[in-house]
A and B are shown apart, each in its own frame.
Chain A
């Protein structure tokens, strides 16, 4: 049983580390600040979640569990908030002119809105 839990920890934490690596690779490879923000917020959210999940069997119940999950939730909340603030700070003022590809996104109800700005 102990061995199984330890194996679970190793697998989950390793997977988490892979997602952290993915976030960093995205940070380096993605073309601009906003796409890099995507990489960091989403991959690190999942990576931290997997690390926390993997550490649960090693923590003392129940206080250790609650503490680990609280850390994850706090990181989620701050990541979601800071991500939006950074995105708002760096977006170009002509957001709908510069990045929208040739055709507006088809097949969803908001396509007219996307081109009516300014």
Chain B
């Protein structure tokens, strides 16, 4: 269970964009890498040239795709500057499995409540003192937990706690959040305030 917590560097650690925000050349590299990634994603979704491929049409499509990829890369660099950060792949896989399972639990839970004639709800708020620092980690935590059973982050309250709206306060909401946070912290290797 705890094999991936071992402090020594394991092959399961993957190094992502490793440019410093201050260095000029690496940030160009990061921009190119991200642009290429977005363009590949665009190719995948738009699939230009699959129906009635004519060269001018295809060229026009590709120009639009390149412009879109460049815009996406620019926005992504503005919102999420490249930084040195390693993601823990094994922990990420565990988080993904946990996430898929909890998504199913969440959907079934909400459907059961919606279809129940008595409408069993006990909504309320809960302040969760999140340990992840503001930035990417906390944003990821909010996004993940907003899709998990009965919790919806509504903002930051007193003492820097995340405020959750809960469908049913009788559920062990805080325990579930703590488990999600531990999983996410392990993905991010426990250190670093933002990526």
Chain B residues in 8 Å Cβ range of A114 = 125-127
A22 B111 Cβ-Cβ under 8 A: yes
Q: Interface on A for B, CB 8 Å cutoff?
A: 18-19, 22-23, 25-26, 29-32, 34-35, 37-39, 41-43, 45-47, 49, 63, 66-67, 70-71, 76-77, 79-81, 83-84, 87-88, 91, 95-96, 99-101, 105, 107-110, 113-114, 116-118
Chain B residue at minimum C-beta to C-beta distance from A50 = B107
Chain B residues in 8 Å Cβ range of A105 = 124, 126, 169-170, 173-174
Chain B residues in 8 Å Cβ range of A80 = 142-144, 146-147
> With A and B bound together, what is the CA distance between A110 and B44 in angstroms?
45
Contact with A along B2-44 (1 / 0, CB 8 A): 0000000000000000000000000000000000000001001
Across chains A and B, which 9 residue pairs bring their CB atoms closest together, nearest first? A46-B107, A22-B111, A26-B114, A108-B174, A80-B143, A113-B127, A87-B154, A42-B106, A91-B154
Chain B residue at minimum C-beta to C-beta distance from A46 = B107
Query: Which of these, A39, A47, A84, A95, contacts B114 with CB under 8 Å?
Result: A39
Chain B residue at minimum C-beta to C-beta distance from A18 = B111
B161 A108 Cβ-Cβ under 8 A: no
Of listed A18, A100, A107, A113, residue having the most chain B CB within 10 A: A113
B51 within 8 Å of A (CB atoms): no
Chain A residue at minimum C-beta to C-beta distance from B102 = A42
B146 A83 Cβ-Cβ under 8 A: yes
Closest-CB distance, B88 to chain A (whole angstroms) = 20
A107 B147 Cβ-Cβ under 8 A: no
Query: Which of these, A38, A49, A66, A101, contacts B150 with CB under 8 Å?
Result: A38
Chain B residues in 8 Å Cβ range of A30 = 114, 119, 121
14 additional contacts, CB 8 Å, given A84-B143, A99-B124? Answer: A22-B114, A30-B114, A34-B152, A34-B165, A39-B114, A43-B110, A49-B103, A70-B45, A87-B154, A95-B154, A96-B157, A114-B126, A114-B127, A117-B158
Chain B residues in 8 Å Cβ range of A43 = 107, 110-111, 114
> With A and B bound together, what is the CA distance between A87 and B124 in angstroms?
13
Chain B residues in 8 Å Cβ range of A107 = 172
A42 B123 Cβ-Cβ under 8 A: no
Closest-CB distance, B147 to chain A (whole angstroms) = 5
Chain A residues in 8 Å Cβ range of B44 = 63, 66-67, 70
Contact with A along B95-111 (1 / 0, CB 8 A): 00000000110111111
Query: Which of these, A45, A96, A99, contacts B103 with CB under 8 Å?
Result: A45
A35 B121 Cβ-Cβ under 8 A: yes
A76 B147 Cβ-Cβ under 8 A: yes
Chain B residues in 8 Å Cβ range of A118 = 158
> With A and B bound together, what is the CA distance between A40 and B45 in angstroms?
25
> With A and B bound together, what is the CA distance between A29 and B129 in angstroms?
31
Chain A residues in 8 Å Cβ range of B107 = 19, 22, 42-43, 45-47
